Amino acid sequence: MRISAHSVCTAIRDEIIAGALPPGSRLTEDLLARRYGVSRVPVREALRTLDSEGFVTIRPHAGAFVAELTSREAADLLDVRLLLEPLGAARAAHRRTEAHLRVLRGLVRLGRRRVAQGHLSDLRQLGEWFQETLTQAADSKGLADLLTQLRRKVAWLYAVEPAARATDWQERGALVDAVARGDAERARALAAREAEHSAAFHRLRRAAPLRPEGV
């Protein structure tokens, strides 16, 4: 069975985000092709896609490397998230379906239960599902694509302290209520407050060192 360039792209991106391919490391087509059991063609296509996404840098006459972001570029990701996530919540207040609301309310109940039980290791995945569902409820492919890429880069560059995952669920129920009422401004304000609170608990990963400014 032929493995698509999309599958290879996903595999390489996941390894970059997980830190298995650290920033600055060279990505050789031959080695990656053997690693994933494919020809060089899907690897080359995948690297071009990842270059356009900002995970890979392709240098003329030198090859492909895992991207190295400056501390300023990393901080900008959180700033952009502060703009886009509230916009998505406001759109969701006007465009959500009952199915979206059922999933969001179920995730809030589950998140609160996990916090009460002290199962904090589950909260990252639940938080990602909550944000993805809220984005789907906004019914905007362009916005969804931007937020998907943004969240992948934040996950790549930052670790989140467990305290943020626990306290986030205190206001997510109110956010879902605002979306259910169609109160776009309230949803926007709550999403902005959550994003601002969460940003304070993000810490740059030591495993992904950032190059100095201006280099």
Residue where a domain stops, chosen among 18, 51, 66: 66
Q: Mark whether 139 and 193 lie in a shared domain.
A: yes
Residue 82 belongs to some domain of the structure = yes
pLDDT value at residue 200: 86
List the domain range (segments joined by +) for residue 163.
Answer: 71-204
The band of 88, judged by pLDDT with boundaries at 50, 70 and 90, is very high
Residue 92 belongs to some domain of the structure = yes
What secondary structure letter does DSSP report for 122?
Answer: G
CATH number of the domain at 30, please. 1.10.10.10
Q: Mark whether 56 and 109 lie in a shared domain.
A: no
pTM of the predicted structure, to 2 decimals: 0.84
Contacts of residues 78-84 at CB distance under 8 Å and 24 or more positions apart, as own/partner, are 78/154, 78/158, 78/199, 78/202, 80/150, 81/150, 81/151, 81/154, 81/195, 81/199, 82/192, 82/195, 82/196, 82/199, 84/143, 84/146, 84/147, 84/150
Question: Number of folded domains in the chain?
Answer: 2
With contact defined as beta carbons under 8 Å apart, do 191 and 114 qualify?
Answer: no
Residue where a domain stops, chosen among 66, 84, 100: 66
- The DSSP element (H or E) to which 112 belongs, if any, is helix 98-117
What secondary structure letter does DSSP report for 57?
Answer: E
